[in-house]
């Protein structure tokens, strides 16, 4: 069993919930991609093999995977919620193109360090960074 599956199963167990077939299918779809994703894209991926997993179940599974610490709600783009992996991925910031919707990721320990220090002066305990900017990507600037 893959590690993320074990994590998810254990998390569900602590909540008295079950790792069902649809939940496993959704988890696999989520970890079959290594980029940002949204429910619609996930639905398309899943439907190629499993005609009977509904959108509702995907929507219902997202918060569970977030609570399990596997993914996080990354940003909102073109009126859709987007998610990204936490498990197995480094923290990073996002540049979102307003025009084509492309998302560029960049790492910066420096930024997180500064933010963390600022938070400390405020007595604020950071659980999750949310750093980025919107604008125009190189392609769309022409």
Residues that bind DNA (CB under 7 A): 12, 16-23, 38-40, 52-57, 59-62, 79-81
Q: Cα separation of 40 and 55, whole Å?
A: 8
Residue 1 binding: pick among a copy of itself, DNA, none (C-beta 5-8 Å cut-off by kind): none
Q: For residues 91 and 128, is the Cβ–Cβ distance under 8 A?
A: no
CB closer to DNA, 17 vs 140: 17
| Closest to 4 measured CA to CA, from 98, 76, 89, 100 | 89
Structure token pair of residue 101: 């919707």
Q: Is 76 a residue that touches a copy of itself (CB under 8 A)?
A: yes
Q: Is 51 a residue that touches a copy of itself (CB under 8 A)?
A: no
Q: Cα separation of 94 and 133, whole Å?
A: 6
Residue 109 binding: pick among DNA, a copy of itself, none (C-beta 5-8 Å cut-off by kind): none
Stretch that binds a copy of itself, among 1-9, 22-30, 45-53, 100-108 (CB under 8 A): 100-108
Q: Is 48 a residue that touches a copy of itself (CB under 8 A)?
A: no
CB closer to DNA, 39 vs 136: 39
Neighbours of 99 (CB within 10 A): 11
**Burial tier of 30 (Cβ tally within 10 Å: 0-12, 13-18, 19+):** buried
Cα-based distances in Å from 136 to 49, 79, 101, 104? 36, 17, 9, 11
Q: Is 127 a residue that touches a copy of itself (CB under 8 A)?
A: yes
CB closer to DNA, 74 vs 85: 74
* List of residues contacting a copy of itself (CB under 8 A): 73, 75-76, 93, 95, 97-98, 104, 106, 108, 110-111, 114-115, 118-119, 122-138, 141
């Amino acid at each position: 069993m893959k590690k993320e599956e074990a994590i998810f199963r254990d998390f569900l167990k602590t909540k008295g919930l079950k790792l069902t077939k649809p939940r496993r299918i959704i988890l696999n779809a989520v970890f079959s991609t290594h980029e940002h994703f949204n429910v619609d894209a996930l639905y398309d991926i899943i439907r190629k093999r499993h005609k009977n997993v509904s959108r509702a179940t995907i929507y219902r599974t997202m918060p569970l995977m977030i609570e399990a610490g596997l993914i996080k709600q990354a940003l909102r783009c073109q009126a859709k919620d987007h998610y990204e992996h936490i498990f197995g991925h480094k923290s990073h910031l996002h540049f979102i193109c307003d025009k084509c919707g492309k998302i560029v990721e960049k790492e910066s320990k420096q930024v997180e360090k500064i933010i963390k220090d600022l938070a400390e002066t405020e007595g604020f305990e950071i659980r999750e960074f949310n750093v980025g900017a919107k604008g125009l990507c190189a392609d769309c600037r022409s």
